Structure 1
Amino acid sequence: MPSGIAKLHLPTHTISKPKLLSKPTPERSPDTLELYTTLVCTSAMQNPEYRRRAFERAAAGVIPKEESPDDNLAEEDDGNKPLNGGDVKICKGCMTRERKRAARKKVRKVEEEESWHKNEAKRVIVFNTHEVKDWHTSTSHPTSESTGDRPEPFVPEGAMQIDAPMRIACYCRHQDEKLGFQVIFTIKDYQDRLIAQEITTSIMITDDHKTHNMPA
């Protein structure tokens, strides 16, 4: 952890509720690291070249181009396609479901509603926590309930952590993905210098409410 760091700023568009957004919008600060998230398909990440490109794109902060009617004419090796290593975007069906989910909650201020909805096409990864979080010392290893059958990660002395409940808002089958999703976490400082980058294990998101064992 760089010296002088106290906070982590999560991507504004990933925050689950308007009331969890920071007001006013936080400005970049020397004591705050910036988190960026990228959702990718596990099957694509098994290809070393696709994986390399995904990490480079995440580190550079490259925003994939918007889809157009001509996308169906694009070549199959188009790097923007999720199955070819491109970023996974929330599909229209899941976007509609998320909109209905939000509508069930109590009425919010009009300006908060508009601000929150303008980012719905980006909200494939959702954090149900505050936009700005404090780093704190990692005092214990994860419980077996949280790690499942996976080995507990080694936590070095002096390590810092952030607790941020995360949800993926689109199903794997909607992206024709059979192995699961993975999240690339990219952390930069206030001057946009890369501090750290890591990818999660595979996460299978289904709509059948059953537990799935991940391939070895």
Structure 2
Amino acid sequence: MKILVIGGNGRVGSLLVNKLAAKHQVLAGSRNPKPENNSDNIEHVYIDLLSDVDAISKSMNSLDAVYFVSGSRGKNLLQIDLHGAIKTMQAAEKAGVKRYIMLSSVFALQPEHWKESFLSNLTDYNIAKHYADLYLTTQTQLDYTILQPGALKEESGTGKIEINVTNPGSNSIANVVDTLDSILENDLTFGKVILMHDGDTPIDVALNQLR
């Protein structure tokens, strides 16, 4: 498959690009392309989420899937995390790409949880992710999956998670990356919003429990 990872230089995106490149042709998209990997399956491309839909769409020709794992880390929530994300959805539809995988945040679509744990300090971020996720689920015809992990930690991956969680929890970035990779071709994840944190269930087993 030919896959675009938007946010391909970030702490999640860079690991995801390398993971996907083992089996696929991967475009690592960012405003500051940094060719740091010698793999023949990775191409670093320029994508500016502040540009218009037509410009973004030109980066999506002949793609099989798009991942959105970009973020402003609180610096430009409206233009990047919200409007930028929506423009990539519109661009994907314009380019004829059907598969779209969004990395979001736990309980982004459930505001009643936003005062829990670390989420209480991220209200503006939660709002941006809420409306981006809402647009994806209600205003597009994309074959989407939204992954909503809890707090991301720089820890070793275990390959084990829990889904449909009821508390924010935390996740090793490696587990999130492995889950994003496993989602790609798993039909059970299409049209699903998956809340997750680290747990005791192997990733593929957890995803195959989706119905």
Please indicate, yes or no, whether the TM-score normalized by the shorter chain is above 0.5.
no
- What TM-score do you get using the length of structure 2 for normalisation? 0.30
Which structure has the larger Rg? 1
Going by fraction, where is helix more abundant, 1 or 2? 2
- What TM-score do you get using the length of structure 1 for normalisation? 0.29
**Structure number with higher relative contact order (C-alpha < 8 Å, ≥ 6 residues apart):** 1
